[in-house]
Structure 1
């Protein structure tokens, strides 16, 4: 299966479906007040870039986004791969595209918030394998037992 990754608008039905699937997947893993999910409309803002992986038939199979904060910090958001393509390196490729975009924008650091409970182990492995390090709370996220924060210097 040939795959391509490119920036796209999230304001497409198939991307909305993926966002809904991600929300359903995450819902049982943390209390709602500790789920910090961008909506599709927020992902479509001028401060965000959404990368979508499509198979050779044009079906969206994975996504991830970069949200820029104050011109120096980029945040990794909404990483998701359809179950049938997991384990093929798509998430790593999307994360690399996010990092490349962040560097092109001159950002000094990438940060992210993910869950700290069982079920998030694949996310931790992805971020740690890409050189992210666990850190304290970032941006305006509350420090809680339900969040794990990561950062990566780009300078």
Structure 2
């Protein structure tokens, strides 16, 4: 059993070595939450992940602080990422979950990602990223629909 666990660990580690890690920096996010009345949110977050972890599939995650209607909350997100190319203008799609903690309640969101990554330069270590992230949120005795628009830089170390 011990050998099987080690073999599984080494296989997972070798799969990570095939991927391309990234960090999203200098990302701006505008969020609209469609409730009565419509709410705007702004946040500061750090995102990262690995592209091409298994073929075109990858993973991403992040953490941040969100301010909405005078309340600050801490959020965590994780999701799957699918890239439709390897260079130039790269369309992306994904699915994910997010949890917000703060403001005397916990909210959960299930969402999608549709975006475009444009690589800058020949070394392909820096990209512009634009994405739209629709989500359905649950918490606080209500269900909400939100739309986040993100723009920023993706850095490949």
Larger radius of gyration: 2
When you count strand as a share of all residues, which structure comes out higher?
A: 2
When you count helix as a share of all residues, which structure comes out higher?
A: 1
- State if a TM-score over 0.5 links the two structures: no
> TM-score, length-normalised on structure 2?
0.28
